[in-house]
Each structure stands twice: as structure tokens, then as C-alpha cells.
């Protein structure tokens, strides 16, 4: 919501859509005239995440939002959340929507990583296989 990450600049030429000013305008529209981008009810980077269910984050390596995903992963980990972040080099925001339609789809898209399936408590199974196809993903 604040659009402060370095990746807004480092990925500026690679991200096809998101720019710092656009993200701030979208946040302003969402928050309203008196809204605060640091409000923990709107921005998880300022929320108390302790007790949050295991969390899996995927982000494209070419996204302006890359550092936002990294910050969220760090914030969740510090709060004691079981969190995993996978960065997919060369990918744009919402790249997962191309799963099954892309020329070279990633097997990981649409599959749960180990320990994060729908059969467990809070919908996150530690026993369900995660597909094992890590090509394309780089784990943080």
C-alpha cells in the first residue's frame, strides 16, 4: 500500500503494469480519503500476524511488488507464522493465471507445496505431497 520497496525501481522496466504511483493510487482508492496505508486492518505489514495459519506466498521475480512479498514473508516469520515464499524468476504479477495455458507451464502452479494442502488443520496439510516440481521457482 505504501509502495516503498526497492523492487518498484529495480523491476520498473520489467513489470508490465505496476508502477509506484499506480499502486499508491489504487491504495488511496481502497482506503478512502481518510485512510491510512499503515492501518493494520488494511495492510498486513502492520498487523499482528501471530496465530496466522501457515502461509504460502508466490511472487514473480519481475514484479514491482517483489519486495512487498519479501517484507510480508519476513513480518510473518517474525510473528511465528509458518511461512514459505517462492520467487519465480522472469514472471509477472498473477502469472499463476496462465497455468495450463502457458507454453511452458510450471508444474508448481496449482499444486500445494509440502505441508500446505487442503486436508490439514486450517486447510494446510503437512502430509500431502507437494508435487516436487521446483523448476522455475527459487525458494527464498
**In the prediction, which pLDDT does 124 show?**
40
**DSSP secondary structure string, 11-62?**
TTTT-SS--HHHHHHHHHHHH-TT--TT-TTT-GGGS--TTPPPEEEEEETT
Tens digits of per-residue pLDDT, 5-35?
A: 999 999 999 999 999 999 999 999 999 999 9
Say whether pTM exceeds 0.75. no
**In the prediction, which pLDDT does 22 show?**
94
Out of 3.40.630.10, 3.90.1150.10, 3.40.50.1820, 3.40.50.980, which CATH number does the structure's domain 7-139 have? 3.40.50.1820
Tens digits of per-residue pLDDT, 100-126?
A: 775 655 555 556 555 555 554 444 433
What residues does each domain of the chain span?
7-139
Amino acid at each position: 500500500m505504501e509502495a516503498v520497496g526497492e523492487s518498484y525501481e529495480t523491476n520498473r522496466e520489467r513489470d508490465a503494469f505496476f508502477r509506484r504511483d499506480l499502486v499508491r493510487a489504487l491504495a488511496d482508492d481502497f482506503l478512502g480519503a481518510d485512510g491510512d496505508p499503515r492501518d493494520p486492518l488494511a495492510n498486513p505489514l502492520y498487523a499482528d500476524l501471530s496465530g496466522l495459519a501457515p502461509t504460502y506466498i508466490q511472487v514473480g521475480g519481475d514484479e514491482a511488488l517483489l519486495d512487498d512479498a519479501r517484507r510480508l514473508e519476513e513480518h510473518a516469520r517474525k510473528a511465528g507464522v509458518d511461512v514459505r515464499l517462492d520467487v519465480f524468476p522472469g514472471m509477472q504479477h498473477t502469472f499463476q493465471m496462465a497455468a495450463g495455458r502457458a507454453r511452458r507451464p510450471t508444474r508448481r502452479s496449482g499444486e500445494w507445496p509440502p505441508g500446505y494442502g487442503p486436508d490439514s488443520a486450517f486447510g494446510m496439510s503437512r502430509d500431502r505431497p507437494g508435487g516436487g516440481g521446483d523448476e522455475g521457482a527459487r525458494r527464498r
